[in-house]
Structure 1
Amino acid sequence: MIPRTLFDHEHEEFRNTARRFMTEEVMPFHEQWEEDHLVPRAVWKRAGELGLLNATTPEEYGGMGLDRRFSMIASEEIARACATGLNGFGVHDIVAGYLNNFATHEQKLAWLPKMAAGEAIGAVAMTEPNTGSDLQAVKTRAVLDGDEYVINGAKTFISNGTNCDIIVAVVKTGSTGKGSQDISLILVEADRPGVVKSKPLKKVGMHAQDTTMLFFEDVRVPKENVLGGVPGQGFYQLMKELAWERLSIAVSSVTGAQAAFEHTVEYTKGRTVFGKPIFDFQNSRFKLAELKIELAVAQNYVDRCMELCLRHELSSEAAAAAKLYCSNLYSRVVDEGVQLHGGNGYMLEYPIARHYIDHRVTRIYGGANDIMKELVARTI
């Protein structure tokens, strides 16, 4: 298939660092983290030492000032290992993006160096129990009282919810009734009185990823904590960052699918039925050939989207298309992989089973895939 040309020597050295970290310091302990429903903070700090967190953060704010390809590589290596406990790194990176783009110099100095070092962990409080993907329908409200906003409401499916130190909360600050014009993003320190974290949510998969609900009960924050300094800009700010979030989901999906494919090929070549390897049956080879082609096409599209992202030309519909196609493809690859494994495909000692329980959410988070279809349909 067509070789990838997106990366240079420096990127590949970074990949080697990330892969060693996954092999030596993550995967031997991941099963325990699944039982704990949490990745220890020491792991975050180690990732920070290796430059695996917020690589794009400018050097003046404690980062390395690198391009998005380094974030892409970190996501790829996490997905390749199916180390879904570290998926919170991507959310942490998104929080850093909001700060980089919309925070004051003082706010950046306060948080970005600690985030790059893994000493402070970020979360985004976006989804609510009854709103799903409809961001304009959020009920959490921030009311101005003197020089402070008072926040009340509930959020769910919060990645890094237990560990988080800083929260970017999607709230309503206006009452115009015009939807997007009433939305703001507010920085909320997790240790403020009135911020309540639930116990870890019981998910089908991704058990090591720290996921909770967050409750805001008369939480007071300075009015300066509104990102961008002016209320009512939140929906625009979300749209600016959501393209990258959806592309990053596409990156993880196509890489996870490739890993699932490789595990399946290895298994079918080593497992014998009716006197010959499963791979030697024409049905198996043809199914795998189709998946190989689809994966190559998906990877090339994702790499092209990354090229556009590097030039700040990635459109929301292109990112939505990447997220939609790659997450759907991940499901197809995993389903075929489980089937070709037979009964062993349902056993967690085989990597394909871990992909099976962990992958499904890629078609939901970052905006459900039906919403992705709507975003693309609007451009027709």
Structure 2
Amino acid sequence: MSRASRSTGPLDPSDLLDASALLSDEERAIQDTVRRTVREHAEPHVGTWFEQAEFPTALVPRFAKLGLLGMHLTGYGCAGTNAVSYGLACLELEAVDSALRSFVSVQGSLAMFALWRFGSEAQKQEWLPRMAAGEAIGCFGLTEPDHGSDPSAMATTARRTSGGWVLNGTKMWITNGGIADVAVVWARTDEGVRGFCVPRGTAGFTTRDIRHKLSLRASVTSELVFEDCELPADAQLPEATGLRAPLACLNEARFGIVWGALGAARTCFETALRYAREREQFGRPIGAFQLTQHKLVDMALELNKGLLLALHLGRRKDAGELRPDQVSFGKLNNVRVALDIAREARTILGANGISLEYPVLRHANNLESVLTYEGTTEVHTLVLGEAITGLSAFR
């Protein structure tokens, strides 16, 4: 599209600043492909999945065929796309439901990235091609029942034996845990925190799915339990030493959230906008009233600013210049504004806003989890506080 036609063509309320013009043809093609796929194969069914607390495992081979699993990694059957393309895919997945983005994020940015960055060549060869092909599912065991925001206090231990390691402990709130073929698990050892590759079926390793969730209902969330779980010596990720390793994985996942949350926000905004144009009260569409327009304008402003922020961080990541505190900036801002947009959209829909016939409250419920996982609002605030003042408030 020429510069002139962009300036005179129809306005896209979800892209008021024409941020799409800043994308390459390949990036736009990836975004369009993911959008078409999830709109056709997921959007018509997601309300049922949410209501029935069911994860759509049938979508996994389709995601693999699109190259979404570990898409920003290179080699081992991974697509090797740039960071912006990965972000755009996350946006389109979460525009349907956070559970879809969470699955892809945990598979690629946590489990696969941990193996790709810190694993042995044998571990990479065994797992990464299968995970990229959707033939094996991974999960990432860091969070514990009593140690969420402070992983340095983890209680899970790995003790050396003559034949390898013995793992004991519990991990909690683990996405994909109940369906994972392999878990990347972090434990305290005499030499510090280390990572381990634990296949399903290993003696002493069990999972229990968490029920009765009011958020991320279309996602599998589980407890991982290790009771004298014996592992061979080569189960350890050889390049992972200390907490820096799992935190590096979390930064990869947080980057996807920076984009994904905006997908949920876009759906809520577009739903509210359509509703405001069609719903009539007092003889005219509610979108013609000043108070409703004020809400829609505020939502559009935050959505479009968030898109520019995500794109800026994506370009910095592709240039190898993205800092962890900048990821915190993006996660803190974009999830917070996405949740605000979802809540405001609910008010425009009135009573219809609480129905699963509309996606708004489903997204709002999901975003309550996104607000907390991969670092709470408080944690990211203190990360930025330290970056600004040079003083740590964590200890």
> Contact 2:303–2:338 (CA<8 Å) still a contact in 1?
no
Query: Which residue of 349, 353, 367 maps to 2:357?
Result: 349
Query: Which residue of 222, 229, 235 maps to 1:219?
Result: 229
Query: Which residue of 114, 132, 146 maps to 2:148?
Result: 132
Residue aligning to 1:66: 81
Residue aligning to 1:144: 160
The one-letter code matched in structure 2 to 1:294 is E
> Contact 2:147–2:154 (CA<8 Å) still a contact in 1?
yes
> For residues 229 and 308 of structure 1, what CA distance do their matches in structure 2 show?
25
> Contact 1:58–1:64 (CA<8 Å) still a contact in 2?
yes
Query: Which residue of 91, 100, 110 maps to 2:116?
Result: 100
Residue aligning to 1:15: 31
Compute the RMSD of aligned alpha carbons: 1.7
Match runs of 1:34-53 below 5 Å: 34=50, 37-53=53-69
> Contact 1:122–1:166 (CA<8 Å) still a contact in 2?
yes
Residue aligning to 1:81: 96
The one-letter code matched in structure 2 to 1:251 is W
The offset of 1:40, in angstroms, is 4.5
Q: TM-score, normalised by structure 2?
A: 0.89
Residue aligning to 1:178: none
> For residues 48 and 354 of structure 2, what CA distance do their matches in structure 1 show?
20
The offset of 1:6, in angstroms, is 4.6
> For residues 237 and 243 of structure 1, what CA distance do their matches in structure 2 show?
10
In structure 1, list runs of 5 or more residues that go unmatched: 175-180
In structure 2, list runs of 5 or more residues that go unmatched: 1-15, 389-395
The one-letter code matched in structure 2 to 1:285 is Q
> Contact 2:206–2:226 (CA<8 Å) still a contact in 1?
yes
Query: Which residue of 267, 281, 295 maps to 1:273?
Result: 281
Match runs of 1:166-245 below 5 Å: 166-174=182-190, 182-229=192-239, 233-245=241-253
**1:311-361: CA deviation from partner (whole Å, max 9, x where unpaired):** 221111111111111111012111111111111111111121221222211
Seen in structure 2, the aligned counterparts of structure 1 residues 347 and 38 have a Cα distance that, compared at 3 Å, is closer
**1:39-95: CA deviation from partner (whole Å, max 9, x where unpaired):** 344321222122121112323x11222222232122111111226245211100121
**1:153-191: CA deviation from partner (whole Å, max 9, x where unpaired):** 0111010011101111111012xxxxxx72111111122
Seen in structure 2, the aligned counterparts of structure 1 residues 22 and 196 have a Cα distance that, compared at 3 Å, is same
Residue 309 of structure 1 pairs with residue 317 of structure 2: yes
Query: Which residue of 251, 257, 265 maps to 2:259?
Result: 251
> Contact 1:206–1:358 (CA<8 Å) still a contact in 2?
yes
Residue 165 of structure 1 pairs with residue 181 of structure 2: yes
Residue aligning to 1:336: 344
Large movers: runs of 4+ above 4 Å:
none
Residue 24 of structure 1 pairs with residue 32 of structure 2: no
Q: TM-score, normalised by structure 1?
A: 0.93
> What SS does the aligned partner of 2:273 have?
helix
The one-letter code matched in structure 2 to 1:10 is E
The offset of 1:236, in angstroms, is 1.1
The offset of 1:136, in angstroms, is 0.3
> What SS does the aligned partner of 1:379 have?
helix
Seen in structure 2, the aligned counterparts of structure 1 residues 228 and 333 have a Cα distance that, compared at 3 Å, is same
> Contact 2:46–2:96 (CA<8 Å) still a contact in 1?
no
The one-letter code matched in structure 1 to 2:154 is V
Query: Which residue of 363, 371, 374 maps to 1:366?
Result: 374
Using the TM superposition, name which of 154-163 and 295-304 deviates more: 295-304
> Contact 1:148–1:222 (CA<8 Å) still a contact in 2?
yes
The one-letter code matched in structure 1 to 2:108 is D
The total of aligned residue pairs comes to: 371
**1:274-318: CA deviation from partner (whole Å, max 9, x where unpaired):** 111111111111121122112222211111111111122111111
Using the TM superposition, name which of 36-45 and 101-110 deviates more: 36-45
> Contact 2:177–2:223 (CA<8 Å) still a contact in 1?
yes
> What SS does the aligned partner of 1:378 have?
helix
The one-letter code matched in structure 2 to 1:141 is T
Query: Which residue of 324, 329, 335 maps to 1:321?
Result: 329
> For residues 145 and 320 of structure 2, what CA distance do their matches in structure 1 show?
33
Using the TM superposition, name which of 363-372 and 13-22 deviates more: 13-22
Match runs of 1:293-308 below 5 Å: 293-308=301-316
The offset of 1:23, in angstroms, is 2.2
> For residues 41 and 244 of structure 1, what CA distance do their matches in structure 2 show?
23
Residue aligning to 2:291: 283
> For residues 121 and 204 of structure 2, what CA distance do their matches in structure 1 show?
27
The offset of 1:32, in angstroms, is 4.4
> For residues 371 and 83 of structure 1, what CA distance do their matches in structure 2 show?
21
> Contact 2:84–2:311 (CA<8 Å) still a contact in 1?
no
